[in-house]
Chain A
């Protein structure tokens, strides 16, 4: 600690007791003003973005947005029905891929691996995957699923989203399981239950709401992902085939393609889609936060 105020005040003997030197007070006030205004800037940007979406997106929203398919170049009207359904399908496909793997891996880290070196390594790598650029995961899935099978597919898109969701679920599952008190496990073991039964019927049950939060957060994370879908699920203006082979239309890539297109109805749909996707994601994240706070 470098608090040398007594030494400094000796050079200014006229300072009264209990008063702060003006220079120190000014620095303190300046810092408070700067910190407060920086916070206001960030909040302002959030509301600016939300305001922009509401102003430009509400005008484009109509019943047709939810019932008609995306229009081709130069066609009038149209909606986002296929893109919305496609996005929901891809997102849930991603969660369906990620949940079993993520929950089991998180369980291994919290219950079996614990402080072992291997668990430490997996934890570290998982944290890196958590912040890895999503575009690289898109490229990875392109190389392993799109190129070998000669074609874009909803399956590849779902797998790409799943890979992005896995680290989120692993992380929250482990954190939540670690919050479960040890004596609870010991009580189960004392009744003669093997570890697997202790985990599935005691630890998982106690950490249920926290684990659900992890899955919701993962859902919010992948619902707006665009970059990985460009290389995997692609996009088109039709209803996708039920086997998900070929391009599957989805909201983020539709927004990307429509936003800077020369057709006015495309731009309107891009704004409407942006509003839909942002509101859904913000609602999901707020629900997830509520569950966490309620659980505590």
Chain B
């Protein structure tokens, strides 16, 4: 640290020349204002969504949430299909993504040999660095055709005519695009977030606990199941909620693969839309009430993700900040 102290003499001399403490006061206030700006940002986003969407909320009232109509000719708008699409894609993403993420975290912390841990960790984290739009391209041009040929068509033939699953899993137009495809792509996008937080949580558990469990003859699976998971439980749920927050608001990847249909379908194989995909699709051509309705959709998305993220942060914060 000698370099630090050498450099140190010069600025302190220059401070002497200015009126005592002026720079100090300015610096302190500037950093305080910058920190307050973070609060202002969130308040600003909230206010702009509410104000921008207000005409739509006033026009349609509570019916905006429950109506399934999206008619640009007659200026009638309802959010229900987009809300259902957002929730179902996010749910599918969790169902697919959470087991994968937990498996990866267990592999990284318990099974991987030390030399192998770092490269694998980096590879998983790089999944988060790949831009959303690239996932969309991959989903649309690579994953969707394969999914249509090897999953949708065979599955439709099997389930056709069956009660319930014959409706839920039947694809009327097996293009590979739809709610389920969007959910699967989202799953891969949220894996790095859930997996790396869970990995850090598992790493933090004192090794004495693990060693004592191994000492009384437990297998690796039993150590994970009975020692590690109960220890890290709450923060793993927090990590999952954080992934949910990501999945709810993800835009470009979903816009590519969800099919962008405005109506609601009972099948997860059929095209649908999410709040984010509808905004991205229609925003640049929207005018008047349609624009307000899109911002109102954004407002709904804001409050849903806000609640999810608050819960996530509170759960994760119990152990360590993330």
Which one of A131, A192, A226, A278 contacts B130 once the chains associate, using CB atoms below 8 Å?
Answer: A278
Which B64-81 residues sit within 8 Å CB-CB of chain A? none
The proximity string for A residues 136-154 relative to B, scoring 1 for CB distances below 8 Å and 0 otherwise, is 1101101110000000000
Q: Looking at chain A's contact residues, is the secondary structure mostly helix, strand, loop, or mixed?
A: helix
Please state if B100 and A143 are interface contacts (CB–CB under 8 Å): no
Q: Is the CB of B5 within 8 A of A224?
A: no
B5 adjacent to A196 (CB under 8 Å) = no
Residue of B24, B219, B295 near A28 (CB, 8 A) is B219
Chain B residue total in the interface (Cβ 8 A): 103
Bound CA span A142–B127, Å:
29
List, in ascending order, chain B residues with CB within 8 A of A281's CB.
129-131
Does B49 lie within 8 Å of A224, measured CB to CB? no
A105, B142: Cβ atoms closer than 8 Å = no
Residues of B within 8 A of A205 (CB): 4, 7
Q: Mark A180-208, 1 if CB is under 8 A from B, else 0.
A: 00001001100111111101111001100
Q: How many A-B residue pairs have CB under 8 A?
A: 299
User: What residue in chain B is nearest A113 (Cβ atoms)?
Assistant: B35
Contact with B along A25-48 (1 / 0, CB 8 A): 101101110111111011101101
Query: In the docked arrangement, what's the CA distance between A283 and B268, Å?
Result: 37
The reply on A268 being an interface residue by CB < 8 A is no
Contact of A5 among B28, B34, B123, B216 (CB under 8 A): B216
Would B41 and A166 count as touching, CB distance under 8 A? yes
B134 near A278: Cβ-Cβ < 8 Å: yes
**Residue A108 lies at the interface, judged by CB distance under 8 Å to chain B:** yes
> Any chain B CB within 8 A of the CB of A274?
yes
Instruction: Say yes or no: A105 contacts B137, CB within 8 Å.
Output: no
Cα A105 to Cα B158 with chains together (Å): 58
Interface flag for A2 (CB, 8 Å): yes
User: B94: CB under 8 A from chain A?
Assistant: no
**How far is A201 from B13 in the complex, measured between Cα atoms in Å?**
12
8 Å CB contact of A224 from B134, B221, B224: B134
Check A139–B41 contact: CB distance below 8 A: no
Given contacts A38-B103, A127-B321, contact A3 B35 (CB under 8 A): no
CB distance B251 to A133 under 8 Å? yes
Q: Are A104 and B30 in contact (CB under 8 A)?
A: yes
Is A256's CB within 8 Å of the partner chain B?
A: yes
Which single member of B51, B246, B301, B317 contacts A136 (CB below 8 Å)?
Answer: B301
Residues of B contacting A260 in the complex (Cβ-Cβ under 8 angstroms): 140, 256
Residue of chain A at shortest CB distance from B313 = A127
Chain A residue contacts of B134, Cβ below 8 A:
49, 53, 224, 274, 277-278
Verify A3–B107 contact, CB threshold 8 A: no
Is B165 at the interface (CB under 8 A from chain A)?
no
* Residue among A113, A122, A282 facing the most chain B CB atoms (10 A cut-off): A122
**Closest chain B residue, CB of each to CB of A51:** B142
B154 within 8 A of A: no
Which chain B residues lie closer than 8 Å to A220 at the CB level?
129
Contact A135 B5 (CB under 8 A): no
Instruction: Given A135-B279, A139-B298, A144-B44, decide whether A167 and B38 contact each other with a Cβ distance below 8 A.
Output: yes
CB atoms of A194 and B24 under 8 A apart: yes
Cα of A200 to Cα of B316 in the assembled complex, Å: 32
Q: Is B7 in contact with A201, judged by CB distance below 8 angstroms? A: yes
**Once bound together, how far apart are the Cα atoms of A35 and B305, in whole Å?**
30
Q: Is A101 an interface residue (CB 8 A)?
A: yes
14 pairs from A and B in contact (CB 8 Å cutoff): A1-B227, A37-B103, A38-B99, A101-B34, A104-B33, A133-B250, A133-B276, A136-B302, A139-B48, A139-B295, A140-B49, A167-B38, A197-B11, A223-B131
Q: Chain A: residues with CB nearer than 8 A to chain B? A: 1-3, 5, 20, 24-25, 27-28, 30-32, 34-39, 41-43, 45-46, 48-49, 52-53, 56, 100-105, 107-109, 111-113, 119, 121-129, 131-137, 139-140, 142-144, 163, 166-167, 170, 184, 187-188, 191-197, 199-202, 205-206, 220, 223-227, 230-231, 234, 252, 255-256, 259-260, 270-271, 274, 277-278, 281-282, 285-286, 289
